[in-house]
Amino acid sequence: MPTVRSFVIPTVMKHGLGAVQTLADEARALGIKRPLIVTDSGIVKAGLLERATAPFKAANVGYAVFDRVAPNPPIATVDEGAAVYASEKCDGIVGFGGGSAMDTAKSIGVVAANGGSILQYEWADPQPIKNRIPPTICVPTTAGTGSEVTLWAVITDPNRHIKFNVGGTPHIGAWVALIDPELTLDLPPAVTAGTGMDALAHAIECYTCAYAQPLPDSVALNAMEYVAKHLRVAFAQGHNVEARYGMSMAAMLGAMAYGTESAGAAHAMSQSAGGVHDVPHGALTTRVLGPVMEYNYKGEPQKFARIAQALGEDIRGLSVWDAAEKAVDAVYRLTEDVEIPTLQELGFKREEIPHLAEIAFKDPQTIGNPRDLSLKSYVQIYERTFEMGE
């Protein structure tokens, strides 16, 4: 008998140019009277936070700001934010920024609604999260992480040098996502590339993973098409509104493909390695994605052939195996075209491979990979990744 699976997206998604201007109206509709705006210092320095605060000022709505989010947010930051939420007597949350800000916002909500420390809510079965997070609105300022619609947050434990997942339940999903492509117009090319490729990785891994389902499959393929059409242009022409619009759609759709399930080896590798070196998640995921696909396509050749088609490859007249290889080639080319740094450039060394392979093998996302994995497999994939960077 087939396994019964569910697909739940509790978030109301509102997408379009100028969507952020409705932030106060959306908060009011959720009954929020004093939100905590969760963001980072980069957003503040860039003057972008005004895009979030202006609607509240115009509506005479009071708010508090927690701007101490760091890339790859640690446990202490989440717990500090939850303390601020309580001391400021807030009744709702706005996550405004990239994936780190939105992951932190949702995690603050978990602690606010359930108590304790976010460390207590490391993913487990059965889920430890009993209560839904307070009314939460996520407003992404990048296009790729998809945290605005996922049922997950990723938090760093500096003591164990790992990242861990929180979620897998609708209780952590944002109540509303306001997706405004205009907020991404000033993204630097490197951030555009890393986050955009992260969206592609979400789509590819969720489409091919052991938990794949028809509904998330359809949005995953659509996300791949958006990335193939728009990422190179967004990278080269940051103020191209059409390209930014397309990439914001790719991010949302790629993240929707996650559902309540998991990804595969590329995310197992990047998430675990990201606890070893504090580097951008998107760039790290991208660098291992091609080698992982090169390893995986034998497990799902027909799906990889369909990926090639979604990425714009001409597979007419090809065998399913040759078509599947086209998907791998397409991702390798795109990785180079948007100038993703190599593992060496990100600060990793070959002598770290045994440790990196070991922690990747222990990551729960290994289970969903479309081809069986062993510790030796991860060593081989890492060796291939370093080889591609030479």
339: which DSSP letter? T
Q: How far is CA 375 from the centre of its chain?
A: 25
Give the number of other CB atoms < 10 A from CB of residue 347: 12
Domains annotated on the chain, with CATH: 12-184 (3.40.50.1970), 189-388 (1.20.1090.10)
Per-residue pLDDT of the chain (390 residues; tens, 9 = 90+): 456 777 788 999 999 999 999 999 999 999 999 999 999 999 999 999 999 999 999 999 999 999 999 999 999 999 999 999 999 999 999 999 999 999 999 999 999 999 999 999 998 766 789 999 999 999 999 999 999 999 999 999 999 988 899 998 999 999 999 999 999 999 999 999 999 999 999 999 999 998 888 888 999 999 999 999 999 999 999 999 999 999 999 999 999 998 766 789 999 999 899 989 989 999 999 999 999 999 999 999 999 999 999 999 999 999 999 999 999 999 999 999 999 999 999 999 999 999 999 999 998 889 889 999 999 999 999 999 999 888
Q: What is the pTM (predicted TM-score) of this model?
A: 0.95
Alpha helices in 209-297 (DSSP H): 214-236, 241-256, 265-273, 281-296
Does the CA dihedral 81-86-89-91 come out positive or negative?
positive
